[in-house]
């Protein structure tokens, strides 16, 4: 990922980006790229983000890819290898080429519930199985090739729930100043982990690891850390991303593992990564936020 700029320069670029966005009905509208995939105008479109109000939004209907479009590093909006498919009620991402499956709509203020398990395909990969859920994705498709400017909730063996900031470029070439802040502590391995009540730390290019990441973890295929809360290989894992304003909280199988605030942007599309390993999803839902 890109190196983190100074606080002053980041603040300036953020102000410039905000000025490039329009305000309509008091709601920030971000440049979100194509709305309906290849069939639509491929220029950036401004579209208000949607929030679930009183009922659940089923992003995945269990039947087809309605509501999504794919983008791949080499073939863009075309998917000749069938990287993204649906069979027997499961959404399959083969992982054989880098890219993502994106929601057509942008969303904000929601409780995302995703249930996944790893498939068999690795294409010879020796490191941990790897994917991710990219939140608040904005800008033209592939603007941080092969990804899009966003905040990643990591899905990787031993690292489920880590935060990674992905900065990209807007349509005019200016940097989209994605950022988060988290309460952290420094582990014995020198890696920054989430700790409630810890030191407020602005993301600076180093992954914000989930709270109990094993300092002795070896990133090899199908290994587990001693404190991992991800389900065992072959079983379903439940990941929840609670996006409330500029705060994001991540829970894995019911355990809160990471949290950040001052997230920018705080709305955008939701992307599922294709990144070298087969992954299956059986549930992708947006629930309304619970009132205090």
Query: What's the chain's length in residues?
Result: 292
Confidence at residue 271, expressed as pLDDT on a 0 to 100 scale: 98
Q: Which of 261, 249, 143, 148 is nearest to 202 (CA)?
A: 261
Confidence at residue 206, expressed as pLDDT on a 0 to 100 scale: 85
What are the pLDDT tens digits along the chain (292 aa)?
Answer: 333 334 444 444 555 555 444 333 333 334 444 434 322 322 333 458 999 988 999 999 999 999 999 999 999 999 999 999 999 999 999 999 999 999 999 999 999 999 999 999 999 999 999 999 999 999 999 999 899 999 999 999 999 999 999 999 998 999 999 999 999 999 999 999 999 999 999 999 889 999 999 999 999 999 999 999 999 999 999 999 999 999 999 999 999 999 999 999 999 999 999 999 999 999 999 999 987 6
Q: Tell me how far apart the alpha carbons of residues 130 and 18 are, in angstroms, rounded to a whole number.
A: 33
| Rg of the chain (C-alpha set) | 18
Beta-bridged to residue 251, according to DSSP, are 240, 256
Q: Which helix (H) or strand (E) holds 10?
A: helix 7-20
Confidence at residue 15, expressed as pLDDT on a 0 to 100 scale: 53
- Count of domains in the chain? 1
In a domain, 146, yes or no: yes
Confidence at residue 7, expressed as pLDDT on a 0 to 100 scale: 42
C-alpha distances in Å from residue 136, one per residue of 107, 133, 150, 167: 7, 10, 5, 12
Which residue segment(s) compose the domain that 237 sits in?
7-33+50-287
In a domain, 220, yes or no: yes
Confidence at residue 48, expressed as pLDDT on a 0 to 100 scale: 80
CA torsion sign for 100, 272, 30, 151 is negative
Q: What is the pTM assigned to this prediction?
A: 0.86
Q: Which CATH number covers residue 77?
A: 2.60.120.560
In a domain, 88, yes or no: yes
C-alpha distances in Å from residue 244, one per residue of 25, 57, 197, 291: 20, 16, 19, 11
In a domain, 44, yes or no: no
In a domain, 81, yes or no: yes
């Amino acid at each position: 990922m890109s190196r983190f700029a100074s606080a002053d320069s980041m603040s300036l670029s953020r102000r410039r980006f905000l000025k490039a966005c329009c305000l309509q009905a008091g709601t920030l509208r971000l440049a979100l790229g194509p709305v309906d995939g290849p069939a639509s105008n491929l220029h950036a479109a401004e579209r208000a983000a949607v929030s679930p109000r009183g009922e659940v939004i089923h992003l995945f209907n269990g039947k087809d890819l309605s509501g999504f479009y794919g983008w791949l590093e080499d073939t863009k909006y075309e998917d000749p290898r069938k990287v993204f498919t649906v069979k027997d009620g499961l959404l399959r991402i083969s992982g054989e080429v880098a890219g993502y499956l994106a929601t057509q709509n942008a969303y904000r203020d929601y409780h995302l519930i995703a249930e996944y398990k790893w498939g068999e395909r690795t294409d010879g990969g020796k490191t941990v199985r790897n994917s991710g859920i990219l939140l608040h994705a904005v800008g033209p498709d592939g603007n941080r090739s092969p990804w899009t400017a966003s905040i990643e909730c990591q899905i990787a063996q031993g690292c489920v729930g880590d935060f990674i900031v992905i900065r990209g470029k807007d349509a005019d070439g200016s940097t989209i100043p994605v950022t988060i802040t988290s309460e952290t502590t420094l582990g014995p391995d020198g890696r920054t982990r989430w700790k409630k009540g810890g030191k407020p730390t602005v993301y600076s290019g180093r992954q914000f690891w989930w709270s109990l990441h094993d300092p002795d973890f070896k990133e090899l295929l199908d290994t587990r850390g001693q404190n991992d809360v991800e389900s065992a290989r072959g079983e379903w894992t439940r990941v929840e991303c609670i996006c409330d304003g500029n705060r994001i909280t991540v829970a894995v199988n019911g355990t809160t593992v990471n949290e950040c605030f001052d997230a920018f942007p705080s709305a955008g599309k939701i992307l599922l990564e294709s990144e070298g390993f087969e992954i299956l999803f059986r549930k992708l839902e947006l629930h309304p936020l619970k009132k205090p």
